[in-house]
Amino acid sequence: MPVIRFSALVAFAMAALGEAAAADRPNIVVIIGDDMGYADVGFHGCRDIPTPNLDALAASGVRFTNGYVTGPYCSPTRAGIATGRHQTRFGHEFNAGGKGTGLPLTEGTLADRLRAVGYKTAAIGKWHLGEEAPYHPQRRGYDEFFGFLGGAHDYFDVKGVLRGSAPLQRNETEYLTDAIARESVAFIETNRSRPFFLYMAFNAVHTPMQADDARLMKFASIQDKQRRTYAAMMFALDEAVGRVVQKLASSNLTDNTLVVFFSDNGGPTMPGTTVNGSSNAPLRGSKRTTLEGGVRVPFVMSWPGKIAAGKVYDPLVIQLDAHATALAAAGIAAKPEWKLDGVDLAPYLTGQKTGTPHDTLYWRFGQQMAIRHGDWKLVRYDTAADGEKPGVTAAKLYNLKDDIGESKDLIATHPEKARELKAKWDAWNESNVDPLWGGGRRKNASGAQ
C-alpha cells in the first residue's frame, strides 16, 4: 500500500481549496474601443449610427458621464489599464513602437494578478504594448493570445494576425472585427466552467478606414464617405460586443461577470492625427490633446449580480478604476508595492460608500497637461486643436459645469483657482518619471524644467 505523506495531503487539500475559491470568483471582461468619438454611441445621443448592443450594455449597468482615460493616445491608455497606474509613473508616456519600447518589465499586470489566483486569461485583438518577445502578451500574464502586436492593422488582409506567438497556420478569412468577436466567444465557451479574464481590445474604429460591403450598404444614406465607412466600422464593433454579451447570457454567466467598456481615447478629429470621421461633440479637442475631446470617453460598467441596472453616475472616474475594481471583485487585496492609482468603484455604485471616487484627476502628455478638480480644469493643450501649427498653449482655465466645450478661458478672472490647480498638478507630477522613449525631459505646468 503506498505511503502518502502528510505534507502531500496538505498540499492536495490546499490546492482543492484554491480551486474551490477560484470557482466562486466572477468572470471579468474588459472591452476597449479604439479612437471612438465621444458622440458616436446611442447612449450619448448618436442618431446616424445605431449601437444597440452598447446601449443595452449601458442600460444593464452604469453609464459614467465623466469617464476618463489617462492619456490621449492608444498605447499609454492601455499601459494604464494593464498596470492600474498612471503610465507616466513608469515612463510609458507615448506610443510604444520599435525596438526596446513596450510595457516596462518592472510592472505587473492585471492578467498577472488574476492568473495567480486561478483565472484563465486571454488577450484578443490589439496589443500595442510592445512587439518584441519580452513584451508579448503571453509573457505578461495571458494564457492565450489572438491578434496583432502593433498599433494598427488592415481589416481584410490579416496575414499578420498572430495566434499565440506565431502567425496563424491557416488563412484568416473574416473581417478582423468579426474575427476578434469569434475568438472571444470561443474563449468564453472553452472556459465557461472556470473563472476567466477576457481582454477584448478592438482596433476598430482606428484607421485604415475599411468596412465590408454589407455593412456599408446599411449606411448608404450618409453622404460623406469617411463618415459612412466609420459608421459601418462602429456597427461592426457594436455587433461584436453583442456577440460576447449574448454568449455570456446563453452560458448563464451574465450575473457572475463584470464587464467594462471604454474607448482608449477620444476620436481623432484634427490634422496631424489619423482622422477617421468620428465626432466628440459637445466636447472640444481630439485624440492627441488633453482637452476633453482627447481624454473623456464613452465608459460603461455592467455587473448584473452586483450593480443595479440603469444607473447614470456623474462623479469622476478613470480607466485605472477598472483595474482596481476587477481586483476587488476577484477577492485580491492590492499590495502596497503595486502602487495602484485607481479605486474600486463597486462600493460607490452599490451605495456601500458615499462620497466620490476621485476629487481630482491628472494628465501629462509631453508638454501638454491637465488637471480636473471638481468642475474646474486647468489645461495646456496642442495648438493644432485651434487650427494652428503644432505646439502647446499657455495654461487655460475652464469651468466644465458651465462650459463643457472649453470655450471660455477664465484664467484672467480666477487667477487664484489657476494657481491652486497648478500647485496640485505640480505636486502630483513629482511622482512621475521621464518618458522612456518619444522625448526627453518633460516640463511642468509652468514650463520650467
Q: Cα–Cα distance between 407 and 404 in angstroms, integer?
A: 8
- Lookup: cell for 233: 466600422
C-alpha cell recorded at residue 253: 454567466
Catalytic residue among 46, 74, 86, 358: 74
Helix (H, G, I), strand (E, B) or coil at 192: coil
* CA-to-CA dists, residue 351 to 306, 308, 449, angstroms: 11, 10, 44
414 included as an active-site residue: no
For residues 263 and 234, the answer to whether their CB atoms sit within 8 Å is no
Q: Could you confirm whether 46 is annotated as catalytic?
A: no
Pairing assessment for the beta strands 62-64 and 311-313 based on DSSP bridges: parallel
Q: Contact, 167 vs 160, CB < 8 A? A: yes
The set of cell numbers assigned to 369 is: 497637461
Candidates 86, 128, 323, 358; catalytic one? 128
Within 8 A by CB and 6+ apart from 1, the residues are: none
Is residue 163 classed exposed, middle or buried when 0-12, 13-18 and 19+ CB atoms within 10 A define those classes?
A: middle
User: Could you tell me the three cell numbers for 421?
Assistant: 490647480
The full length of the chain comes to: 449
- The Cα 274–Cα 260 span in angstroms is 26
Report, as residue numbers or ranges, the catalytic residues.
74, 128
